[in-house]
Structure 1
Amino acid sequence: MESRVTALPKLFIGIDIHKRSWKIHCSTDLFAGKSFTMPPEPEKLREYVQKHFPDHEVSTAYEAGCCGYAAHRSFVNFGWRSLVVNPADIQRKGKERYTKTDRIDAQLISRELKDGRLESIIVPDIEREELRSLFRRRNELVKDFRRVKSVIKMQLLYYGVKVPPEFDNDHWSHDFRHWVDSQKFVFGTARECMASKMRNFRFIDKELRDVSSQLRAYCRKHF
């Protein structure tokens, strides 16, 4: 009876992803593998795999971080199994806990992937990811808004300008803004300093209102 191969050989790719380059470690179910550096381009990794590991079942993994999910989506489109993992979930043994290089990280990811000890975080779809970006932008603006208000009040305190009781609260009415604009100083340099801070305040205020309006409009339409 003629025997047939029913299972494809498996390739496990651990990737340490950075902006300018990727450190790759490839291993299979038969050998420990090799490490190399390549440009941060998924298509080039695909070409390497097709050349050196044809007809392999490919699994990849890399740590979640500043490079996002673009590489993951490319790998999935190639038909590969792809995991984006929490860095804290990668088990380190002995000296591995104290020695950290890109090559070692790629090797550890490949090893943990091969041993079946890695689980992917939840990767959002593109729509939700981009919506999160707008939420994060609003949160950034809220922090900037609070900070610039604090900076202006501290500058007034430094100059010895007492804020009237009716304005001494977190809500900055238009009357309070006009009151700040109308303050007189001995020299024009102080006036220009306050004017610059108020321009910054008004810019952040407008950005916060605009982004909040865009968020509300999008969520009403799609959710």
Structure 2
Amino acid sequence: MKSILSVGMDVHKNSFSLCAYDGYTGEIVSESTFASDVKLVIKFIEALKSRYENDVEIKCGYEAGCLGYSLYKLLTARGVDCVILAPTTMQVSAKNKMVKNDRMDALNIAKNLASGSYKTVYIPDEEDVEIKEYIRMIHDFKKELKRVKQEICAFVLRHG
């Protein structure tokens, strides 16, 4: 029988905290904190696979936040099953609300992955990203146009 491990990742700009949790036994299999590098996440996952002699299914996840979709895209490109969890849909224990640290957050994410008590964030495809960038560009141009109009009005006003 294949084991199913949930790897919760509390991710920040400078560091990642990972917690591998066996939802069947309720056991924390492995924990680690390291620099924010996707290669180290892959190394952590490979170490788990070798411990179980590849007879394991691993699902990773992290809360939507500062990294956006970049970590998700890097992991899925390397064949890792990964999801981005919507923080408002996750169950949070009272203990986790009182004791707030990266290790506990990673464990909470792993437990939510194991129990399925979360909703995933929509991952935009390339077309969605292009449309978003186009809308941002239009917004920036409108802002710039307004600024230039104000400068011209101020110039005309100063010179009568």
**TM-score, structure 1 normalization:** 0.59
Match of 1:14 among 8, 15, 28: 8
CA positional deviation for 1:44: 1.9
1:104 matched residue in structure 2: 104
Q: Structure 2 CA distance, aligned partners of 1:140 and 1:184?
A: 27
**Residue 134 to residue 19, structure 1, CA distance change in 2 (3 Å):** farther
Q: Structure 2 CA distance, aligned partners of 1:100 and 1:145?
A: 46
AA in 2 matched with 1:180? A
**Residue 184 to residue 123, structure 1, CA distance change in 2 (3 Å):** closer
Unpaired segments of 5 or more residues in structure 1? Answer: 1-6, 154-176, 186-223
Q: Once the two structures are superposed, what CA deviation does each residue of 1:97-116 show, in whole Å capped at 9, x if it has no partner?
A: 24322222111100110112
Corresponding position: 1:36 with 2:32: yes
2:60–2:82 Cα contact (<8 Å) kept? yes
Corresponding position: 1:123 with 2:123: yes
Q: Structure 1 CA distance, aligned partners of 2:148 and 2:37?
A: 44
1:67-86 equivalences under 5 Å are 67-86=67-86
CA positional deviation for 1:143: 5.4
CA positional deviation for 1:25: 1.0
Return the index of the structure with the highest Cα Rg: 1
**Residue 99 to residue 42, structure 1, CA distance change in 2 (3 Å):** same
Corresponding position: 1:53 with 2:49: yes
AA in 2 matched with 1:11? L
1:23 matched residue in structure 2: 17
Shifted more, 117-126 versus 57-66: the winner is 117-126
**Residue 49 to residue 140, structure 1, CA distance change in 2 (3 Å):** same
1:198-217 equivalences under 5 Å are none
Q: Structure 2 CA distance, aligned partners of 1:121 and 1:140?
A: 27
Unpaired segments of 5 or more residues in structure 2? Answer: none
Q: Structure 2 CA distance, aligned partners of 1:149 and 1:87?
A: 41
SS state at 1:66 partner:
coil
**TM-score, structure 2 normalization:** 0.78
CA positional deviation for 1:93: 1.8
**Residue 130 to residue 66, structure 1, CA distance change in 2 (3 Å):** farther
Q: Once the two structures are superposed, what CA deviation does each residue of 1:71-117 show, in whole Å capped at 9, x if it has no partner?
A: 11222233332111111112112232243222221111001101121
